[in-house]
Amino acid sequence: MGLLNDKNALVFGLANDKSIAWGISQALHREGARLGFSYAGEALEKRVRPLAAKLGVDFVEPCDVAHDDQIEAVAKKAAAHFGQVDILVHSIGFANRDELNGYFYNTSRAGFHLAMDISVYSFVALARAFQPLMRKGGALLTLTYYGSTKVTPNYNMMGVAKAALEAATRYLAADFGPQGIRVNAISAGPIRTLAAMGVSGFRDLYKAFGDIAPLRENVTIEDCGNAAVYLCSELSAHVTGEVHFVDSGYNIMGVPEPAARE
C-alpha cells in the first residue's frame, strides 16, 4: 500500500534526471500516485518524454508559465485526462543570468519583473487554474531556498523572489485552507541541477554547505522526494503554509563549528 494510492499528481519543472522535480516524481510514483508532467518548451520535450516513459506517465504537456493561455490549456487537458487533480508540484524558478551576479542593486526593472513572474506569479496562476480540479485532501507544493531570508552572494534577485514565493505560499494556504487543500514549500539545500550549474560561486557554496551543515552531508533530489511524499500525503494533515527545510540542518547554524572551518 502506497501513501498516495489513487491520487493524481501534476509536476511542473522537470528538465532532466538531475531535476528536483525528478526526485519528487520518482517518490510520488513509488507511493502509488498517477503522474502527469508539464515542461517549459519544445527544447525539453526530448528530455522529458523518456523520463515519463520510465514511470509509465502518459500525460506529458508543454506549458511555458509566462503565458496565461498555456496555463489554461494544460489545466483543460488535465481536466479531460485526470478529471480531478490531488497534488500539484511547482518546481520552477528563473532569473536572467545578469541578475545572479555582482551587486543586487544593479537588478534591472525588466529582470526584476521576469524573475517574479516566472518564479512567483506562476505558482499563484497555477493554483488558480487548477483550483476547480482539486478536492479536499489536495496539496500544492513549491520549492524554495534559504537565500530568501539570509543573504547568499550572487543569489540576489532570486532571493527576493523566493521571499515573495514563501509569502505567497502562506497567502495561498489561507485561501485554500477552507477547502481542505494544503499549500507548503520545501526549502532545499544546494543541489547540482541544471539551474545551479554554471552559477558563479555555486561550487564553493556547495562544498562549504557540506562542511557547515550539522549532518555534514549535502542533500539529494531523493531527500526532496521523500519530503514531498510527506507534504502531499495524509502524513502531514493539518500542516499548511509551512516552509519545510531539507538542508541537513544548515539553517539552524549561526556560526560554523570550529572543526567545520578547517
228 binds ligand NAD (CB under 6 A): no
Q: Is residue 121 annotated as part of the catalytic site, yes or no?
A: no
Q: Which stretch binds ligand NAD (CB under 6 A): 12-20, 78-86, 108-116, 228-236?
A: 12-20
Asked if 243 and 169 touch (Cβ cutoff 8 Å), the reply is: yes
Q: Which stretch binds ligand NAD (CB under 6 A): 1-9, 77-85, 133-141, 186-194?
A: 186-194
The C-alpha atoms of residue 210 and residue 197 are separated, in whole angstroms, by 17
The C-alpha atoms of residue 222 and residue 219 are separated, in whole angstroms, by 8
Closer to ligand 0WE by CB, 85 or 227: give it. 227
Locate all alpha helices (DSSP H) within the chain, ordered by sequence. Answer: 20-30, 42-54, 68-82, 109-116, 122-130, 156-176, 202-212, 221-232, 258-261
Catalytic residue among 155, 171, 206, 230: 155
115 binds ligand NAD (CB under 6 A): no
Asked if 59 and 75 touch (Cβ cutoff 8 Å), the reply is: no
91 binds ligand NAD (CB under 6 A): yes
The C-alpha atoms of residue 224 and residue 212 are separated, in whole angstroms, by 20
28 vs 33, 41, 44, 214, CA distance in Å? 6, 23, 22, 28
Q: Is residue 155 annotated as part of the catalytic site, yes or no?
A: yes
Catalytic residue among 39, 145, 146, 250: 145
Q: Which residues bind ligand NAD (CB under 6 A)?
A: 13-15, 19-21, 40, 44, 64-66, 91-94, 118, 143-145, 188, 190-191, 193-196
Q: Which residues bind ligand 0WE (CB under 6 A)?
A: 93-95, 97, 100, 145, 152, 154-155, 158, 190, 195-196, 199, 201-202, 205
Please identify every residue annotated as catalytic. 145, 155
